[in-house]
């Protein structure tokens, strides 16, 4: 038997493996070939750089050890590591075992996999001082312990730190069921190596799993590896179009479901089919509906949790673009020559649509500018063109660019060097999409910090009144600004934090990014947010976004104020 390494039962395994590798190679080659030239160049540049070494390390820590999942929940982490590391070691040690017993000679794949069958008449005593049988058995037990947890998770996900796990597709079910059989069958077959039916069972389980794998969520096992390298070499998805690189992201999603629990559309508004896990699944299998693509706050709460580090927001925007992009066609030509700005100054202030709808914030800004003795050019106090981000978020990127050009030109015409805005939505698009070389863009919170540290603004210290701060999604997760508003608030009062804060902060629920959500869901989310803040015992909620202010006020009886209003109240 050692000579031929063949027996009828190996056929399912060999067929499965061939299908698996044929499909994977076909997919990867196709996606790589279709990368735009710019990305291909990035691959060539990155290939022989430190990025590759870092990628190898990341493959080790993420694909085998699953460090990021450990952070979500240790049991969940253990389960993933047991599968990945355990199986990987079984293969590697199995390989070494083959060499130890058969010497350095060619052994076909099935010879390694069904080693115990083909060598059952050999002496399996220790070689090189290593008792391979024991080592392999321990590794197998390690994998099996992960399997027990996996089965357990299917029925009791809550115990693994997840309130909800993903619903499965047919491919997933076939793959998962066969996977559950692989390791117990292996244990049985290796315990009774002369029992041919057991080997058949093991081989069939492997074969079915391998055939189903590239069409199921288990495709992530392989796909995370190229994704890690491509990402390290600087390739990203784009909001303005779907790219072939997106496939690497879509198929690297393990549908682990970690993104489901943080989603407020799920936990407060009861939606069960729009979360990133489902969006990715639907897009991958070409059954994405407009409803799912549009029904997301793009709050980024799931993205910070995704253990694979997928660009969930960008992917969703790409889909929206494909589903809804209306050509720009000079739609906004009517706004080209609009200039209703007033005032003179190197510092410009852009209120944005949402601040224009909140006159209190505008008034506070004016008083603060006066108190600081700032000469201000008011870009849009009497009406102006929207910053373009809402249109971008809807998928109409080309049309949004027209609006961006109109505004950028307006800023340049007035020769400002600093642009202050009180709206994080505008801030983010100014920073990410506008070309504003020579103009420094500041959120009002950052501007206040500067005024305070330059001594241009003095504030009366507040009483003992406790206040709590809401991180707007676009400001916190979007622009990475967490400290500036807190710094300002701490000078005038006592700040208390809600349970979920900073990069885990809740979304107000009225994000402009959600094109489909109904009023009742927005209110339900606002009420949940309100409760979270009320639990801090604070007397007022402060935020730094005009939209968040309006949205949260719908869900709480506490006063909700913008940072500018708080400052104004404390002007010395």
Partner 1 sequence: MSAIEWGYSVLPARTMDLDRNDLGPVREMLEEMPQFGACIACGGCTATCTAGNLTSFNFRRVHTLVRRGEYTGAWAEMNKCMLCGKCRLVCPRGINTRGVVRLIKRKLGDY
Strands of the 440-443 sheet, one edge to the other: 376-378, 347-350, 418-421, 440-443
- Minimum CB separation of residue 216 from partner 1 in Å reads 33
What phi, psi does 441 have (nearest 5°)?
A: -100, 125
Q: Distances in Å between the alpha carbon of 385 and those of 74, 350, 569?
A: 49, 10, 30
**Residue closer to ligand SF4 (CB basis): 17 or 254:** 254
- Minimum CB separation of residue 197 from ligand SF4 in Å reads 37
- Name which of partner 1, ligand SF4, none residue 529 binds, using a CB cut-off of 5 to 8 Å depending on partner kind: none
| Site pattern 258..297 for ligand SF4 (x: CB under 6 A) | xx--xx-x---------xxx--x---------------xx
**Residue closer to ligand SF4 (CB basis): 275 or 468:** 275
How many other β-carbons are positioned within 10 Å of the β-carbon of residue 128?
8
- Name which of ligand SF4, partner 1, none residue 255 binds, using a CB cut-off of 5 to 8 Å depending on partner kind: ligand SF4
Q: Distances in Å between the alpha carbon of 243 and those of 115, 248, 320, 360?
A: 43, 10, 13, 44
Task: Give the residues across from 349 on adjacent strands.
Answer: 378, 420
**Residue closer to ligand SF4 (CB basis): 52 or 324:** 324
- Name which of partner 1, ligand SF4, none residue 426 binds, using a CB cut-off of 5 to 8 Å depending on partner kind: none
- Name which of partner 1, ligand SF4, none residue 335 binds, using a CB cut-off of 5 to 8 Å depending on partner kind: partner 1
Contact region with partner 1 (CB under 8 A), list: 5-13, 141-149, 327-335, 446-454: 327-335
Task: Give the residues across from 560 on adjacent strands.
Answer: 541
Is residue 332 at the binding interface for partner 1, with CB under 8 A as the rule? Answer: yes
- Minimum CB separation of residue 79 from ligand SF4 in Å reads 14
Q: State which of residues 357, 409, 453, 531 lies at the interface with partner 1 (CB under 8 A).
A: 357
In sequence order, which residues have a C-beta less than 8 Å from that of residue 61 and are 6 or more positions away? Answer: 67
Q: Distances in Å between the alpha carbon of 547 and those of 6, 90, 371, 383?
A: 69, 54, 26, 17
Residues binding ligand SF4: what is the number (CB under 6 A)? 25
**Residue closer to ligand SF4 (CB basis): 277 or 484:** 277
- Choose among 376, 237, 241: nearest CA to 314: 237
How many other β-carbons are positioned within 10 Å of the β-carbon of residue 427?
31
End-to-end CA distance of the chain, in Å?
Answer: 92
Is residue 481 at the binding interface for ligand SF4, with CB under 6 A as the rule? Answer: no
- Name which of ligand SF4, partner 1, none residue 263 binds, using a CB cut-off of 5 to 8 Å depending on partner kind: ligand SF4
Binding to ligand SF4 in span 231-260, by CB under 6 A: 253-259
What phi, psi does 494 have (nearest 5°)?
A: -100, 125
Tokens of 280: 């990715």
Is residue 404 at the binding interface for partner 1, with CB under 8 A as the rule? Answer: no
What gap in Å lies between CA 471 and CA 544, rounded to an integer?
7
Q: Which helix (H) or strand (E) holds 367?
A: helix 359-372
- Choose among 501, 466, 486: nearest CA to 301: 501
Residue 560: CA atoms inside 13 Å, Cβ hemisphere, count?
25
Tokens of 179: 């996977």
Is residue 353 at the binding interface for partner 1, with CB under 8 A as the rule? Answer: yes
- Minimum CB separation of residue 305 from ligand SF4 in Å reads 6
| Site pattern 172..211 for partner 1 (x: CB under 8 A) | ----------------------------------------
Is residue 403 at the binding interface for partner 1, with CB under 8 A as the rule? Answer: yes
Binding to partner 1 in span 504-563, by CB under 8 A: 510, 512, 515-520, 547, 550
Q: Which helix (H) or strand (E) holds 525?
A: helix 519-534
**Residue closer to partner 1 (CB basis): 348 or 388:** 388
Q: State which of residues 197, 359, 383, 463 lies at the interface with partner 1 (CB under 8 A).
A: 383
- Choose among 255, 275, 165, 175: nearest CA to 215: 175
Task: Give the residues across from 495 on adjacent strands.
Answer: 467
- Find where tokens 């079910």 sit: 173
**Residue closer to ligand SF4 (CB basis): 324 or 494:** 324
Judged by the rule CB under 6 A, the positions of this chain that interact with ligand SF4 are 253-259, 262-263, 265, 275-277, 280, 296-302, 306, 308, 310, 312
Judged by the rule CB under 8 A, the positions of this chain that interact with partner 1 are 324, 326, 329, 331-332, 334-335, 338, 353-354, 356-357, 383-386, 388, 390-391, 394, 396, 403, 510, 512, 515-520, 547, 550
């Amino acid at each position: 038997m050692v000579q031929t390494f063949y027996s009828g039962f190996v056929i399912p395994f060999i067929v499965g493996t061939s299908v698996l590798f044929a499909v994977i190679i076909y997919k990867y080659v196709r996606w790589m070939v279709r990368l735009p030239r710019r990305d291909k160049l990035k691959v060539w540049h990155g290939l022989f750089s430190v990025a590759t070494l870092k990628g190898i390390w990341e493959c080790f820590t993420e694909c085998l050890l699953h460090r990021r999942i450990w952070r979500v929940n240790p049991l969940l982490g253990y389960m993933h590591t047991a599968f990945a590391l355990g199986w990987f070691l079984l293969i590697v040690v199995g390989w070494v075992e083959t060499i130890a017993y058969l010497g350095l000679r060619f052994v076909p794949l099935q010879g390694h996999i069904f080693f115990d069958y083909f060598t059952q008449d050999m002496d399996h005593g220790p070689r090189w001082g290593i008792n391979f049988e024991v080592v392999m058995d321990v590794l197998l037990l390690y994998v099996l312990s992960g399997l027990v947890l996996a089965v357990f998770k299917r029925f009791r996900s809550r115990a693994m730190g997840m309130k909800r796990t993903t619903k499965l597709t047919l491919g997933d079910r076939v793959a998962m069921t066969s996977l559950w059989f692989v390791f117990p069958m292996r244990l049985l077959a290796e315990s009774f190596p002369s029992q041919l039916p057991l080997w058949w069972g093991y081989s069939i389980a492997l074969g079915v799993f391998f055939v189903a794998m590239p069409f199921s969520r288990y495709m992530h096992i392989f796909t995370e590896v190229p994704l890690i390298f491509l990402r390290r070499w600087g390739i990203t998805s784009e909001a303005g179009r779907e790219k072939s690189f997106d496939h690497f992201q879509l198929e690297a999603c393990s549908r682990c479901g970690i993104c489901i629990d943080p989603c407020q559309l799920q936990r407060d508004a009861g939606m069960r089919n729009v979360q990133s896990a489902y969006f990715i699944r639907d897009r991958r299998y070409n059954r994405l509906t407009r409803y799912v693509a549009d029904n997301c706050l793009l709050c980024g709460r799931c993205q910070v949790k995704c253990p694979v580090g997928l660009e969930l927001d960008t992917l969703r925007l790409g889909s929206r673009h494909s589903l809804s992009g209306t050509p720009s066609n000079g739609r906004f030509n009517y706004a080209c020559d609009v200039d209703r700005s007033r005032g003179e100054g190197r510092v410009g202030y852009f209120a944005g649509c949402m601040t224009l709808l909140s006159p209190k914030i505008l008034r506070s800004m004016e008083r603060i500018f006066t108190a600081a003795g700032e000469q201000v050019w008011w870009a849009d106090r009497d009406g102006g063109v929207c910053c373009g981000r809402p249109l971008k978020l809807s998928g109409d990127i080309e049309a949004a660019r027209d609006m961006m050009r109109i505004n950028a030109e307006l800023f340049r015409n007035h020769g400002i060097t600093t642009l202050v805005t009180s709206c994080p939505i505008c801030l983010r698009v100014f920073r990410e999409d506008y070309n504003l070389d020579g103009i420094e863009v500041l959120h009002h919170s950052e501007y206040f910090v500067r005024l305070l540290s330059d001594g241009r603004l003095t504030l009366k210290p507040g009483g003992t009144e406790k206040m709590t701060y809401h991180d707007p999604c676009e400001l916190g997760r979007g622009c990475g600004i967490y400290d500036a508003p807190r710094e300002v608030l701490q000078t005038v009062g006592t700040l208390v934090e809600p349970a979920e804060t900073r990069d885990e902060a809740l979304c107000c629920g009225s994000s402009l990014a959600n094109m489909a959500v109904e009023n009742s869901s927005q209110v339900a989310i606002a009420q949940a947010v309100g409760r979270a803040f009320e639990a801090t015992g604070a007397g007022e909620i402060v935020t730094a976004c005009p939209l968040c202010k309006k949205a949260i006020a719908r869900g709480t009886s506490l006063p909700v104020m913008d940072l500018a209003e708080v400052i104004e109240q404390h002007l010395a």
